[in-house]
Chains A and B, each alone.
Chain A
């Protein structure tokens, strides 16, 4: 079996519209690729009835005939599908008899394709909701309230960062954690820092956005760690996890 992490580009290279797989649900972004012929049961992605993208529980050992691409157990019912309706599976069967796209999640339903024209609105609404999280999160609220006093050029970048930060720290775990601090430095740059007694996670916002970046420092007795990088190298989840590590 070959395990491969699939990203949106992979779908495009395969001639499949990546939006069908990666839009909307965060848990559709990485897909595993497994041998279809391994014995057992797995989850396949395909376009099902009504052009809906569905995950089906596949019996590994599919039948390939002139009329049917695969036989699978769909939500408990043993069903067959015409090749025309099984675009994805059809492609994969044609491309390689040994591979199928397999989700690591049990069941994901995507909206019908005709509603995709509204996706930008949904995305905007999602952004708004995320920003609201940063506005009320115990660790970001104080800094968020200060954003209106800083220049707009910095504000957008900081709002994005606070939103990202807030999304990775559960509110119910925040009661014993220090809030983020915002400092205006004498060179007109800004520093956002999560300051602990033995470690700091900081984000600097420079007049030239390309110079902005992050750092992590830790020092405790004989143990120490230093990291820094540009904003496009920011791995918020990993850094927060590292900062919260006892």
Chain B
């Protein structure tokens, strides 16, 4: 988990992932269970863009498939802090970069395979609680 910037952006692709245009819903950070089958470690991924430079916000919000309703900005230190603080399980969260063909910023918050469903929701809630809402872009889709 090297060379990660201070923040990441999680696209909000559903309207109810933001409450009252201010509070990030827990659902926005619940990982995709399907990803566990494709990973060697059995972890589950919540997809993010690492904010390597200021332009990443605009890049992220321009992706109307994944960020139609804005984004949640989350500090990398917050992810690690939550991971090291939650009781009963050691470091349940990890961060990784996973570049895609058209997205150099892409990466994941990875929920450990040892995380059960209750702790998974608690972790998602803890991350959402620390997320800051970034309003959607009003610019037309390119």
Complex CA distance for A151 and B22, rounded to whole angstroms:
31
Given A200-B129, A219-B126, A226-B87: A206 and B25 interface contact (C-beta under 8 Å)? no
Count class of interface residues, chain B: 20 to 34
Q: How many residues in A have their beta carbons less than 8 Å from beta carbons of B? A: 31
Looking at the complex, which of A33-41, A59-67, A127-135, A182-190 is the stretch in contact with chain B?
Answer: A182-190
Indicate if A215 sits at the interface (CB-CB under 8 A): yes
Q: Encode contact with B along A201-234: 1 for CB under 8 Å, 0 otherwise.
A: 0101010000111111111000010111110000
Looking at the complex, which of B57-65, B69-77, B113-121 is the stretch in contact with chain A?
Answer: B113-121
* Interchain CB contact under 8 A, B117 and A200: no
Q: Which residue of A lies closest to B121 (CB)?
A: A204
Looking at the complex, which of B2-10, B26-34, B94-102 is the stretch in contact with chain A?
Answer: B26-34
Q: Which residue of B lies closest to A196 (CB)?
A: B23
Per DSSP, are chain A's interface residues mostly helix, strand or loop, or mixed? strand
Q: Which 9 A-B pairs have the closest CB atoms?
A: A213-B118, A215-B122, A228-B122, A217-B125, A228-B118, A217-B126, A187-B33, A200-B125, A204-B121
Complex CA distance for A201 and B4, rounded to whole angstroms:
31
Complex CA distance for A80 and B139, rounded to whole angstroms:
89
* Interchain CB contact under 8 A, B86 and A191: no
Given A183-B27, A199-B129, A200-B125: A215 and B118 interface contact (C-beta under 8 Å)? yes
* B136 nearest CB across to chain A (Å): 20
